[in-house]
Structure 1
Amino acid sequence: MWGCQMEQDNAITSTMEDIKLFLPKLVEACETVGNLFYEPVTQETWQQFGEIVEGIDDLYKTLRAIEYEQNKPSNYHFYEDAIGQGIHNISDKFKTLNILVDEENFTAAGDFIHYEMIAVFRRLLQQLGEPLLDQKQRFHLNMEFLKETFPKVYDYLSTFPYEDNGNSVILSRNGLPILCVGTSGKTVHLHSSYDPIHEADRWVAQLSDKLKNKSTILMYGVGCGYFVLRYASVYPQHSLYLYEPDEQVMLAALRAIDFRELCKSLNIAGFTVGEAAQQKSEMLEYVSFQREPEIVVFPVYRRLKAEEMHAFFQELKSIVTKNANVVHNYNKFGLNWTRNSMYNLSKLLMTPSIAGLQGAFKGVTAVIVGAGPSLEHDIEILRQLKKHALIFAAGSTIQSLLHYGIKPHLIFSIDGSEANVSVFDHLDIKEIPLMFAPMLHYKIIEDRDDHLLHAYIKDDTTTTYFMSLTDEAPVFLPTHSVTGTAIQAAVFMGCEEIVLAGQDLSYPNEKVYAEGSKHFSDDILGYIIGQSVLQVENVSGTMNRTSQSMLDTLKDIEGILARFPGVRFVNTSRLGANIKHTVFRYMEEVLQSVNAKTIDDHIFIQAIADLPLYKDEKLKQVYSQLERLPSEMQECTKHLKNIVRQIGLLEEASRTKPNKCLSLIASIDSSWSEITSNICFKGLFLRACAGELKRFEVELPKLIAAKTILEQTAFYVKFMLPLAQSMFELCPDLQEIISESKSRVEGIDRFSRS
């Protein structure tokens, strides 16, 4: 049955292709006969007229046969109106033509053929579109072009078969190819069915105010390229990032237009197709680093792809925010984080890893406490809860807990800033176990040896390199707040119910913290509230004041919770924001549910005491790398200085001395290769200069795409020179960090004995 359907589909499709090939011949014959009717009518006139009558009759009968066919092809809906109109118009016009001929009004008959009959056939040809053979040949040439110019797009599109039941190529009234798509049982033209160029011109004109002072444009939707082409003609200086979200639309467009010619007219900085996560994310990463990119949308997509477009914009906004934070934070803290990780190497070697506690607290409820205003309402119940559940203090929350006389079972701290030092300054916490990440400010733990436990955070390239971490080592995802780290650690340790307390993640009643929090002055807290003009729904269904950074933190925590569907998450923050993937319960209910269990006050002290330390071989391995660093840093400094000097020479040589320019480029590349293979780059620069390196990495495709010496020179001057200068300026600081880190490891008792 299915085979018969396919044969029928193929038969009708083949017939329609025959019609497409027949119509131009019919038009040509009609033009000849129309001209003959302006002259005295001869036997030849009647013979040729008879031939076109026979052709018109065959066409009419064929169209009627297709219309009456029960088993139509799956893409027939694109042509249904055209065939119906063709049948009606041929019948109607043919009757009129016969009357004119019967009346021997031959001049009028010639006019009618020229201006009425031929128009019907041309319109039908436009509606049916080009022959499939022509489309397939164009598609093949376009794919070869993509393979050479945009190989990732080629590889991606090669995995998709063309679905002609979802899209179709027809011709507009002025003869330009346009795309039709089937959606919700309807056929929608992606471009004007009359004049797509005029439509594109009007669209570009209304964008003029929006695009003033812009240089980078992300185009959401390409279609047949008319909008892109007209845009480029008005703004040739703009760098265009083209994104076509619909693979089938792109495949259809490659059949409709010469994509090679289109690209010749465009300043394309990037081109991506489809919703595939990797392809799209790579493009968004790249765009996010461009200065104030502007997004313009293929007009019809605002209606057809409203939901997808909204999700796309949200993803771009998230990536822009994330990368802006990465660059800002690493530019501001990169060196300090590197220092912390290096100075804390000695502490890592002297303390156990959380790896030994995997699943150790299965069946035990963990309460992760934040310092939000809700904490004040639950503090007395929390005091009782400590006897029945694990109490984890998230970072600065320890101030509020100690203010109320509650010592948690464990403190989590990962913040590497000086502000975090002030949080722990003068606090008596040496008897409270503390779990730290290597990026924690070294001053917080440098005078402490007991009850410490460490965990690793992804993206800490310094620790990963020098501790030679493998995939087997537990490594937690970086998060916006220490709460996210505590959640991951609690899950790792086997807790199947995790309670969030004091995690308001907003500013209820215009308050930032619970009582006892002292690391911010009243003026700063007032400023935070004053700047928080956004709203977020709270657990009661009303709204709390919040800020963008707090919303980002909330979303980040929700993302962490979503990764653990098998864990029950309970939110008890009665004034706080509603948190996805949690159920809200009052703290009293939580206490009742765990009342039968008993938790020893010193449970973590005992657990840490039983954990093994790293073996002496690990200590020696780390120290041997530290010993190499001073000489390796000298090599890096030499190569960086060479790069800075040679890029200065390169700019001048590129204008008049191409051979010298090529020699300089080769030398620069050689020096950079030496730097990136150096242990100082892998262990120090990757973290200390992560912001600059990220930007450089994003821009690197421009060097690969550079076709002239001038383009290559521009890249080295604009992107590599600032990076090399920044790295060079850090070398003295990193030398000091190397020396102090080596001294700290040498101070370990086990090291001196070994």
Structure 2
Amino acid sequence: MSILQYNYNPLSDRFPHVIKGLNDSNSLNNPIDYKEAIDRDDLWLQAVENSIKDCKIVFVYGFGRGLSIADLLDQYPDRWFFVYEPDVSLFNQTLSQYDVSLLLSHPNFYWLSVGEKQLNMLFHMVCSYMIKDLAFVALRHYLEMDMDHLRDIKSQFLEYRDTFYANKFTENRFREDWTQNYLYHIADTLHTPSIEQLFYAFEGVTAVVVSSGPSLQEDIDYLKKLKPHVLIIAAGSSIQALIKNGIQPHLTVIMDGHPINKKVFSNPNALKSPLLFTTSSYYEISDAKKHEKVHSIMKGDAVSQYFFQKDRDELLMYPTATVAGTSIQAAAYLGAKRIILAGQDLSFPNHQLYTDGINHFTNETVNTMIKSANKELPNVKGGTNLSNDTFFHMKENIERLIETLTQVEFINTSRYGAVIEGAPFQPIETLYDQLLAEKDNISPNAIGDWINENTNGLDRNRVLNVQQRVEATLTDLLIVRSEIVVLQKNMNKLRELSRTKPLKAQKKLELIENLWGSIANRDWFSPIMESIIPLQIAKFDKLLPIIITEQDLIRKTDLVYDHLGQLLVDIDERIPQLQDMFMEAIRRMDKLQEVESSDLD
């Protein structure tokens, strides 16, 4: 067996994404200038000691030949190492020339990412396990050759960490709504086309993404005139303003999972246009819309991905902080060459939040939001607008999308709003003649017509497969409740044994680890539990490095008893609620098949 094959075995078992990255890379023949001392680098290790201190999680920039990584693992047997090698060519050469299989198999060598495309993957893993402090160290070669890039990577990580934690708290805030929506939407997802199926169905069009900001009022009359020539996409609550002004958009997009949407769509005319719903959106809205629907399973929806057996890479849409971001992606994937942003103020111009016709929040709620504005953003007129953290985050999301969608021209017509990088401001009246001259003709129900022409009957085999997976998960949830009881019984005397009979305590710990593993390693466990109790799962994940690497038996048993014990209680408390959700999801799939059968009759 070659050295490369020896190394590929642990990579296949533990880091298959690395092999995929190596296979996909076209940079394997780049010249390599890399030196790493064979002897132990004591000066470097001394400098590293000042960085690591008491940190349990260590981010290592560079893998190199693996020699320095081996020294770190030897010197710090109670730490977890997350390693990033930026040079794909160097890593590929190391695999071919050096046997690093034992290193790659080491339990404390916890994660490996190779190449820039896998950097965010490593950031995610580090954020999942770090509690407070993170040690950031780099191999000597990169300290000497690439210091500016090291600073940039550290800055990128800190930005990613802030977003990661904000997302976790958002997930926790909406955990019940989102989990319920994911499950209740399964039936609707089974009989509607996906956004992936409409990919580039309207190539070359101009799309207007309409949001609810005060500037929209200035664009309304032009939108009426332009509807025959552009795709009008209503982002969430903006449908209220469009309906008030007699405009039926070509597509309405919903993403928000809160029941407040019942008020947004209380006017029956609000659901006349074709609807794109994400699986996180409030389920009663798509329930009320009987035909001309499109769904999107987003890359952040692990629950739907599990039940539909979808790989994340198969999906187009990324979750964003605003439904405008979802609408922008939809416009781009429909094939828009140009996207105009209307009513996208991202601030409180003239102390206003919404345009006329938006009324799902009370005046008191709106005034409270405006009074709490704690930021200022430059506006398109050269001044500044009051804004807040939420709008600031939305703005960043939209600008990041614009950077990504390089094939699309962006224009911002929101004349009182914040500056949006990558979308220069241009009043809609100056665009009007240009858009008319392009002579694009779009039928009033262009997207609805596409849906009607391309929607096939229900795929009963697919329905059966998904329903069986849902039913099996429901059954297994109830089995897990009984397994939790057994696990808790074994934990009850753990602390006492650790102090009086250490050998028995060690065996009990091994049994508990196996029992917990049989629960946590179920395929459905991560998507379902991280959806319904995200903070509790995240907290336990962060404590794992401490629990696993703790050498003192008494402290170890205390950690297991306290933290695994609490997590088991949290899981057990949520199972009855999940049981109700699953039963309703199954009822909806049964009803879907009954309706389909009656239509055929």
Same fold, judged at TM 0.5 (above):
yes
Among candidates 199, 224, 239, match of residue 55 of structure 2:
239
Query: 1:309 offset after TM fit, Å?
Result: 7.3
Change (3 A) 1:288 1:575: farther
Question: Does 2:176 match 1:335?
Answer: yes
Change (3 A) 1:242 1:634: closer
Aligned ranges 1:324-723 → 2 under 5 Å: 324-470=165-311, 473-595=314-436, 596-613=439-456, 614-678=458-522, 680-681=524-525, 684-723=528-567
The structure, 1 or 2, with the larger RCO (C-alpha pairs under 8 Å, 6+ apart) is 2
Query: 1:653 offset after TM fit, Å?
Result: 2.1
TM-score, normalised via structure 1 length: 0.63
Equivalent-residue separation in structure 2 for 1:292 and 1:630 (angstroms): 36
Give the gaps of 5 or more residues in structure 2.
Answer: 1-13, 19-30, 87-114
Secondary structure of 2:589's counterpart equals helix
Equivalent-residue separation in structure 1 for 2:506 and 2:124 (angstroms): 33
Query: 1:674 offset after TM fit, Å?
Result: 2.7
Equivalent-residue separation in structure 1 for 2:496 and 2:597 (angstroms): 55
Q: Deviations over 1:127-151 (max 9, x none)?
A: xxxxxxxxxxxxxxxxxxxxxxxx9
Aligned-pair Cα RMSD in Å:
4.0
Conserved 8 A contact 1:644-1:725: no
Amino acid at match of 2:455: P
* Map of 1:208 onto structure 2: none
Q: Deviations over 1:580-637 (max 9, x none)?
A: 2223322123322221222221212211111224412112222223333442221111
Conserved 8 A contact 2:82-2:122: no
Equivalent-residue separation in structure 2 for 1:625 and 1:504 (angstroms): 44
Query: 1:402 offset after TM fit, Å?
Result: 1.9
Q: Deviations over 1:672-727 (max 9, x none)?
A: 33323546526633422334333433443334434443354244235423322211
Query: 1:528 offset after TM fit, Å?
Result: 1.9
Query: 1:230 offset after TM fit, Å?
Result: 10
Query: 1:731 offset after TM fit, Å?
Result: 0.6
Aligned ranges 1:70-219 → 2 under 5 Å: 162=34
Equivalent-residue separation in structure 2 for 1:461 and 1:231 (angstroms): 34
Secondary structure of 1:392's counterpart equals strand
* Map of 2:4 onto structure 1: none
Conserved 8 A contact 2:48-2:137: no
Q: Deviations over 1:245-286 (max 9, x none)?
A: 6899x99x979xx9779957x986657677665568636753
Equivalent-residue separation in structure 2 for 1:535 and 1:313 (angstroms): 27
Question: Does 2:571 match 1:730?
Answer: no
Indicate the structure (1 or 2) with the bigger Cα radius of gyration. 1
Change (3 A) 1:592 1:713: farther
Among candidates 581, 584, 587, match of residue 740 of structure 1:
584
Q: Deviations over 1:522-578 (max 9, x none)?
A: 222222222222222222333222222222211111212222211112221122222
Query: 1:650 offset after TM fit, Å?
Result: 2.1
Equivalent-residue separation in structure 1 for 2:319 and 2:73 (angstroms): 46
Equivalent-residue separation in structure 1 for 2:180 and 2:291 (angstroms): 22
Equivalent-residue separation in structure 2 for 1:465 and 1:405 (angstroms): 41
Change (3 A) 1:606 1:628: same
* Map of 1:319 onto structure 2: 160
Equivalent-residue separation in structure 1 for 2:303 and 2:137 (angstroms): 42
Conserved 8 A contact 1:343-1:741: yes
Equivalent-residue separation in structure 2 for 1:535 and 1:576 (angstroms): 12
Aligned ranges 1:37-48 → 2 under 5 Å: none
Amino acid at match of 1:651: R
Conserved 8 A contact 2:253-2:327: yes
Q: Deviations over 1:459-480 (max 9, x none)?
A: 2122112222256854411111
Change (3 A) 1:681 1:254: closer
Query: 1:492 offset after TM fit, Å?
Result: 1.5
Equivalent-residue separation in structure 2 for 1:523 and 1:354 (angstroms): 37
Query: 1:441 offset after TM fit, Å?
Result: 1.2
Fraction of identical pairs, as percent: 26
Conserved 8 A contact 1:288-1:316: no
Amino acid at match of 1:623: Q
Equivalent-residue separation in structure 1 for 2:197 and 2:446 (angstroms): 15
Q: Deviations over 1:294-330 (max 9, x none)?
A: 99999xx9xx999657645643442233222232223
Amino acid at match of 1:610: E
Amino acid at match of 2:451: I
Secondary structure of 2:451's counterpart equals helix
Conserved 8 A contact 1:462-1:686: no
Equivalent-residue separation in structure 1 for 2:61 and 2:51 (angstroms): 20
* Map of 2:25 onto structure 1: none
Secondary structure of 1:535's counterpart equals strand
Conserved 8 A contact 1:289-1:320: no
* Map of 1:78 onto structure 2: none
* Map of 2:106 onto structure 1: none
Equivalent-residue separation in structure 2 for 1:227 and 1:355 (angstroms): 48
Secondary structure of 2:449's counterpart equals helix
Aligned length: 536
Question: Does 2:133 match 1:282?
Answer: no
Secondary structure of 1:368's counterpart equals strand
Question: Does 2:225 match 1:225?
Answer: no
Amino acid at match of 1:458: K
Amino acid at match of 2:479: E
Equivalent-residue separation in structure 2 for 1:648 and 1:315 (angstroms): 44
Give the gaps of 5 or more residues in structure 1.
Answer: 1-150, 168-175, 179-222, 233-237
Conserved 8 A contact 2:57-2:134: no
Equivalent-residue separation in structure 1 for 2:288 and 2:224 (angstroms): 29
Change (3 A) 1:434 1:262: closer
Amino acid at match of 2:402: L
Query: 1:665 offset after TM fit, Å?
Result: 2.4
